[in-house]
Amino acid sequence: MATNQVSQTGIKDLDMQKFRSTLDNGGSAAKGCRFMVVIRPPQTLKSFPTDLHYLCETAELPGRGFGVTQARYYGPLQMFPNNTEYQPLSLTFICRADSRERRFFDDWLDYINPVNTFNFEYPNNYYSEIDVYQYSEWGRGSQKSYTPNITYSWKLHKAWPTLVNEQAVNWAEQDILRLQVTFAYKYWDRPNLIGGSPDNVGGGTNDAPQQSSDLTTSISFA
């Protein structure tokens, strides 16, 4: 009697050792806390906090999908892609007591649409680029001081804030104030993968974002 080779092999492979080995082959399980978001705003916004990337508490790794059209040639309906769709990016920032994070994003909104005229600025003047980096669990060097490796990255082009959310305050609470900002953008790409393979992503200090123009290699998760 014939047996299902796939299912039999799968049953034999179900053990914790091979599960751990499978994770280790990819550098261990990815953790949601190993990320960094870098905003490169219009140069006209002088209130930009250059250390803002340290205060981005939550983010969503960018999504992408297709709008579809249904058509029937023979038999059942089939779906075909007709356009590429990108989901908005939502970022949450920890706020400092001097409100510099809120001031910066309010300045950006005012630049897009000043409240004294309500005339919209030319889009190319308020567009920005946003880089999202995903890091490995372990980097090079000792555990106390090391540079993590970038395992994946996204660059969002022509990004701009569509919504600065309200902030709830309460005299009965002493929670840290946070600010959620939603961004629209035209598209994203993966700079380290263009013209290459996934093997070109991460792997060393040269890939780490630098502090100012390229954010610095001094990023540490110790």
Specify if 34 maps to a domain.
no
Question: Domain span at residue 84?
Answer: 39-67+78-207
- Asked if the model's pLDDT at residue 174 lies above 60, the reply is yes
> Do the Cβ atoms of 180 and 211 come closer than 8 Å?
no
Is residue 221 included in any domain, yes or no? no
pLDDT bracket for residue 145 (50, 70, 90): very low
Structure tokens at 4: 């299902």
Query: Among residues 55, 44, 167, 156, which one has the least CA distance to residue 108?
Result: 44
Q: Is 20 inside a domain boundary? A: no
| 217 found inside a domain | no
Residue from 133, 127, 120, 124 nearest 192 by CA: 133
Q: Is residue 33 part of a domain?
A: no
Q: Is 216 contained in some domain?
A: no
Which domain CATH number covers 53? Answer: 2.30.110
Token pair in block for residue 207: 């890939």
- The reported pTM is 0.77
How many CB atoms are located within 10 Å of the residue 136 CB? 19
Beta carbons within 10 angstroms of residue 57's beta carbon: 15
| Residues 134, 151 contacting (CB under 8 angstroms) | yes
pLDDT of 160 higher than 90: yes
pLDDT, one tens digit per residue, over 7-64 is 555 566 677 777 777 777 766 778 888 899 999 999 999 999 999 999 999 998 899 9
Q: What total number of domains does the chain contain?
A: 1
Band of pLDDT at residue 150, cut at 50, 70 and 90: confident
Does a structural domain hold residue 46?
Answer: yes
What letter would DSSP give residue 175? P
